[in-house]
Chains A and B, each alone.
Chain A
Amino acid sequence: MTGTADVEAVWRIESARIVAALTRFTGDFGLAEDAAQEAVAEALVSWPRAAPANPAGWLMATAKRRAIDAIRRRTALQDRYALLAADPPVDEEIDPDRIDDDVLALMFISCHPVLSPETRVALTLRVVGGLSSEEIARAFLVPVPTVQARITRGKKTIAAAGVPFELPSAAERRERLGGVLNVIYVIFTEGSTATSGDRLLRPDLAYEAIRLARTLAALRPGEPEAHGLLALCELTAARFPARTGPDGSPILLEDQDRGLWDGSAIRRGLAALAKASPRGLGPYGLQAAIAAAHAAAPSVEATDWDRIVLLYEALGRVAPSPVVELNRAVAVAMATGPEPALAIVEDLIAAGRLPGSHLVPTVRGELLARLGRRPEARAELELAARLCANRRERSVLLRKAATLS
C-alpha cells in the first residue's frame, strides 16, 4: 500500500515534532519550515520507488540535511551557522525530553501576535497540523498561491520581528495562550458554521481544530482553558450529524433528531469540561458549559434555559462581546419570553454593535414573529438573508420569511 498517501499520513503524525526539533536545531523557524517541506517533496518522489524502513526517521534526517545545505548556501556565515555547517552528526532521533516543550513553542510561534489572523491559521495548520497548502486552501476556499504567500510572508515576519523560539515568559503566558486558543477556535468555527460557500459544515476542518485542541490540552494539562476549548469543540461537534438534512440543508436546533448526536463526543466533551472547572470556568469553559446544557437536554423545551441565561451573563462579564449579548437574548427568549429578549437586541442595535451582521436581524426577526408582528418580522428576515454570505443559511432565512406573508 506504499504511495503518496503514506507520505501525507506520516507527515500528519510527524510534522509538528520534526519542524519543532529542526527549529530548535537551527534556531531559524523559516529555514526549518522550508527544509521540512523539501523533505516531504523528496519523500513523494522517492518513497514510491523505495519505501524507507523508518519513515519518520527518514524525514527527520532528510530535513536536517536540507537545513544544513541551506545554511551552507548562505553568504554571511555567522559563528553559529559556521558551527552547524561543519559536518554535524545527522541522526534520526528526536530528543524525547525536549520535544513537548518544542512543539508547544511551535504552537506559540505560529500563533504569534505579530502575524495576521489568516497567517496564524495557515501557519498553524501547516506546521502543527501537517496539512498541505492545497488542503488549507480547500478548507478556506482561497487559492493555493494565497495560502503559500501567507505562509511565506508569515515566516519573513517572524524573522524580521526577531521572534524567539521559546515558551512565553510567565508574564506573557496568559495572553499568548489566549492567542493560541483563539486560532484553534477560529479554525473550529469555520468548520462548524462556514461563513461562506455552499456547505454549512466542514467537519474535516472542525476535526483539525479538535485535534489541535487535544494536543494543546495534552501538552498543557494544567491549563483549564485548554480543556475548556476542547470541551466546547467536542460538545459542539457532537451535534454535527443532526445539523444537516440528506440534501445538505440546515436543520435548526429545535428540529434536530437528538438521537443522532454523537454520544462519545459528548462524553469526551463532558470529561474535558470537568478538567476545565477546578478554579472556576474561563470564557471557553463557560461556552462549553452552555453546550453541555444543550447536550444534556432531551429537547429544546426540556433544556435548562435559566441555567444557560446565567452562563451567558457570566460570559458577558468575563468576555463581553455583542455576539454573547445576542446569544443571551435568545436564551432569555426561551427562559422568559420574547419581550425582554427583544429589549436586549434593540439595545444592541441602538448601540451600533454588529453592524452589517446577519445575526442581529435574524434574531430580531424571530422574536418579532413570536410576538405576532409578522410584517416587521418578515422584513427583518429578508434583510438577514441579504446580509448572509452562506448560501444554505440564506435559503433557510428566505423560507422562514415567506411563511410570514
Chain B
Amino acid sequence: MPKYLLIMRGTDESNAALMANIDELMTTTRRLIEEMDKAGVLLAAEGLDDPDDGVVVDFSTETPVVTDGPYGETKELFGGFFLLDVASKQEAVEWAKRVPSARGSKIEIRRVPGSDEVPRVGE
C-alpha cells in the first residue's frame, strides 16, 4: 500500500566496480526484479543511461538554459530506481539491501504520498 522509491546512487568508483562484472550484475538484477514481481511489490524499475549523455535544464534565468553533461558537482549521481508497493518502510529497506552494490553505492528511499495526501485547493 505505501509506495516507496528506491533511488540508486553511485560514485564513479562504485559504478566502475559494478560494470566490471556486468554479466553478473545483469543476472543478479534480473533475478531480483523477478523476485520483486513474484512477491507482488514491483511497480517499476529502470536503470539510467550514462549521465555524461544527459542534459540539464536550468530555470535560474528568465529563459531555461540547457547544458550537456551530468548534473552539477555531485559525486553520487542518480543511476536508476525501483518503485515498490510494500507493507512498510522497513520492507523497502530490506529490498534495498538486496540490490547489487559496490563500495560507495547508496540507495535513498523516499515515500510516495497517496493522492489523498496532496493538499487540495482551499485547504
A residues at B contact (CB < 8 Å):
1, 5-6, 8-10, 12-13, 16, 55, 96, 100, 103, 203-204, 206-207, 210-215, 218-219, 241-242, 260-264, 268
Contacts and interface: CB of A to CB of B under 8 A. Distances in A.
B114 A10 contact: no
Contacts of A241: 114-116
B87 A207 contact: yes
Interface of B: 1, 31, 37-41, 43, 85-88, 90-91, 93-95, 114-116
Contacts of A206: 1
A8 B89 CA distance: 11
Nearest to A238: B115
Contacts of A264: 43
A263 B112 CA distance: 14
A13 B40 contact: no
A12 B92 CA distance: 11
A214 B39 CA distance: 8
Contacts of B91: 9, 12-13
A213 B43 CA distance: 14
Which 10 pairs from chain A and chain B are nearest by CB? A214-B40, A241-B116, A207-B1, A211-B40, A9-B90, A9-B91, A215-B40, A5-B90, A218-B38, A9-B94
A204 B1 contact: yes
Contacts of B39: 13, 16, 211, 215
Nearest to A211: B40
Contacts of A268: 43
Max chain A CB contacts within 10 Å: which of B31, B38, B114?
B38
21 contacts: A1-B93, A6-B93, A6-B94, A8-B88, A9-B87, A13-B95, A16-B39, A55-B94, A103-B38, A211-B40, A211-B85, A214-B37, A214-B41, A218-B37, A241-B114, A241-B116, A242-B116, A260-B115, A262-B114, A263-B115, A268-B43
A214 B38 CA distance: 7
Nearest to B2: A207
Contacts of A210: 40, 85
Contacts of A103: 38
A264 B91 CA distance: 21
Contacts of A261: 115
A215 B115 contact: no
A218 B36 CA distance: 10
Which residue, of A204, A207, A213, A263, has the highest number of chain B Cβ atoms within 10 A? A207
A261 B43 CA distance: 18
A151 B39 CA distance: 22
Contacts of B40: 210-215, 218
Contacts of B116: 241-242, 260
B1 A203 contact: yes
A5 B87 CA distance: 11
- Which of A13, A242, A264 is packed against the most chain B CB atoms within 10 Å? A13
A92 to B, nearest CB: 14
A6 B1 contact: no
A105 to B, nearest CB: 14
